[in-house]
Copies of this chain bind each other. A is one copy, B any other.
């Protein structure tokens, strides 16, 4: 059986998913929709699918599943519509910037029993998965302290910042999801600090560009997160898990694994330039996992509830910064 896909949104990340779907054995890309006609046509031409409107995809009999890569403010409406239409849904994070809206949307998903997977791509990175596998195998004993370092090579444009929901909802949200993925327990307490160190314009826009967060679960497991919107050395993405029996780390990735020695020392090249090159394998594995889940061969993970939980941590972090105190997740959920 082949899962027939409609793609909503033909931008940068839409292209990534179009490629992954086309290369997958159990899937075919049937149609693509985008408000920008040339973008949709480019994907249609490259992968031999049709250009259709979103409405046509919603009504189509020959489409089983959709991938939602449209702007964030359309996600919740689209999820509800496609859930009601009985299609399996993969949606890029976040479902929405408002916790209330996300909750309402997830109610529709539950009521319609729709398959909904949220695009936390990092869970599918082979190196991070290998760390998680060590936890699952018991190599590390009880997980106790997680450290997540995540730095972008450079800040996005101010227009993006303006509609991003702020650094916690836009960037740290991936780390919140990773923390939950690794801690194996719900976070009960969040404390955060934020600063503007990279670009004063980001501060003027009401956002921060450098943040650090502490998390804690009910049993005392802890996590540290460090984020910056700028790293001269590339896309810095590391995780570390310390447990009762040992620790595991996933180090940074770079496209060329060489070292050059000279009188200046020993130099390895900078890291990947951003998520498109860093997480190539993760994007492919993510869509493969969705195809399996939508085909009834695996469980849907990360789920809509995972999306909600990560957003709640972002909300708590914002509240912590605003009030200068530790915030319980129960206060925001």
Contacts and interface: CB of A to CB of B under 8 A. Distances in A.
Interface in A96-110: none
Given A257-B250, A262-B246, A326-B324, A224 B222 contact: no
Given A149-B147, A224-B212, A258 B197 contact: no
A246 B222 CA distance: 28
A149 B249 CA distance: 13
Interface string A240-280: 00101111111101011111111111111110000000000
- Which interface class (under 10, 10 to 19, 20 to 34, 35 or more) fits A? 35 or more
A126 interface: yes
| Copies of this chain in the oligomer | 4
A69 B195 CA distance: 41
A261 B232 contact: yes
A206 interface: no
B127 A197 contact: no
B251 A257 contact: yes
A210 interface: yes
Interface in A118-133: 126-127, 130-131
Interface string A188-231: 01010101111000000000001010101000111010101011
A52 interface: no
A301 to B, nearest CB: 20
Contact of A189 (B126, B131, B193): B193
Interface in A125-163: 126-127, 130-131, 134, 139-140, 142, 144-145, 147, 149, 151
Interface of A: 23, 126-127, 130-131, 134, 139-140, 142, 144-145, 147, 149, 151, 189, 191, 193, 195-198, 210, 212, 214, 216, 220-222, 224, 226, 228, 230-233, 236, 242, 244-251, 253, 255-270, 324-326
Given A151-B242, A325-B326, 12 more contacts: A126-B255, A127-B256, A140-B260, A142-B197, A145-B226, A189-B193, A193-B326, A195-B220, A196-B220, A233-B265, A247-B261, A265-B270
